Structure 1
Amino acid sequence: MFSERVQSRSDRRNETRLHVISVAERLFREQGFSATSIRQIAIEAGVSTGTVMAAGDKGALLVAVFESAVATMQREQRRPVTAPDGDAGERILALLQPFLELFSSDEKLSREYAALLVRGSHDSVIFTRLADELLQSLTHEFTRSGLSPERAAAASRTVYFAYLGILFAWAGSGSDLPAALRELRSIVAVISSSPDSES
């Protein structure tokens, strides 16, 4: 009976946290990150400001919004990529394009998020667990194209860091999604067309 109470209390805390993040996302998108206050999030969510702060400050809430979206996309990507078997470059772009589209869907908010990451003021699983999952998917596609496991892992890291660089450059420059995709396509083409050193 005690464990049921603890579990239900923990479940309620998690539900409240998810509700606060959802309300914060709506307000961030409707009126902008800077114009949204913790107090307003609390009022809209029907909780105290202390409850909101337990979920995180504004920056942590924005990071949680993007991490949730990225995690959802990565879960959906566990389904097979539909590009042709022989076209590793297109399969890899198919893995990365949804993330670029996510960031371009609300450019102002995405730039706020990128600025938080660059400052390093908020922990983010985007560079740990979520990065590992994306690297595994990229490595699988490179291996599927005929690269050795070692070379596929190296190619995946190269593409991943190029992808991050393109995202941060995009966030700071005001370039558009097609330009970012062209950059990524050219990098993937060079890497995926390089002969395997073991062949």
Structure 2
Amino acid sequence: METREKVVDVALRLFREEGFQATTMRRIADEAGVSLGNAYYYFAGKDELVHELYLKVQREHRDRALPALVEGGALAENLAVVLHSGLDVMGPYHAFGGSFLQSTLPRKSNSSPFSEQSSDARSMAIDLMRTTLTVSKQKVPTSLSDNLPTLLWMAYLGVTLHWVTDSSDDQTRTRALVDGLVPVVAKSVRLARLPVARGLVADVAALLTRMTSREEK
């Protein structure tokens, strides 16, 4: 297990420092002090190491965001904490974000956020959104409570996609997107509690159920 972790650590460092395309499995093996065959014993290729990055980012995101959430705080403020902390964790990997996206977008990729292999990372991300809703003072409509954490996670994926393509210094445009998005989300959740919005809320919940069930097939 120690060898596997060393290979992962070296691979992620090289991805950050030299880029995904420039990093070869042989270079990873040499830097980790193991044979190439040993490296391939643990990972079939770089794409599998991208999956390890996805897990690492989700763990670090959770560990950074949870202590910063404010019990009874405004949903917009807590959600801003979660989204900005996610960008903080991803920051060192922005240089190879395009390669990361290329590996994760194909539906059949093990590194896809929707793949079976990514279920642990996906669950961590959705649970973080669920906790954010739970600790915030804003109440969530009962009809949306099961699906809203997943909706927020999907919104975060959209923010991540923007971040990957954001060429502004320190991705300030993505930071501005987050700051503009969270009040809209909080207001939408608040409005969803009104009787006039019940039909719309039910439609959104049904649509999300159909989407997620298709992904699981």
1:61 Cα shift? Answer: 1.4
Cα shift at 1:74: 1.4
Match of 1:19 in 2: 6
* Contact 2:11–2:28 (CA under 8 A) maintained in structure 1: yes
Report the TM-score when normalising by structure 2: 0.72
Is 1:172 the counterpart of 2:126? The answer is no
Matched, 1:65 2:53: yes
Q: For 1:59 and 1:158, how far apart are their aligned partners in 2?
A: 27
Q: Distance in 2 between matches of 1:189 and 1:87?
A: 10
Give the corresponding residue for 1:148: 141
DSSP 3-state at the match of 2:147: helix
Residue 117 and residue 101 in structure 1: after superposition, are their counterparts in 2 closer, same or farther (change >3 A)?
Answer: same
| Residue 45, structure 1, aligned to residue 36, structure 2 | no
TM-score by length of 1: 0.78
Q: Is 1:139 matched with 2:127?
A: no
Identity over the aligned pairs, expressed in percent?
A: 23
Q: Measure how far apart 1:53 and its partner are.
A: 1.2
Distance in 1 between residues matched to 2:127 and 2:29, nearest whole Å: 38
Q: Which residue matches 2:150?
A: 157
Alpha-carbon distance change, 93 to 164 in structure 1, aligned in 2, over 3 angstroms: same
Question: Cα deviation per residue 1:86-117 (whole Å; 9 max; x = unaligned)?
Answer: 41111011112121122233312222212210
How many residues were matched structurally?
185
In 1, Cα distance between equivalents of 2:82 and 2:90 = 14
* Counterpart for residue 186 of structure 2: 192
- Segments of 5+ residues of structure 1 without an aligned counterpart are 1-13
CA distance in 1, matches of 2:34, 2:108: 25
Paired residues of 2:12 and 2:53 also in contact (CA < 8 A): yes
Paired position in structure 2 for 1:4: none
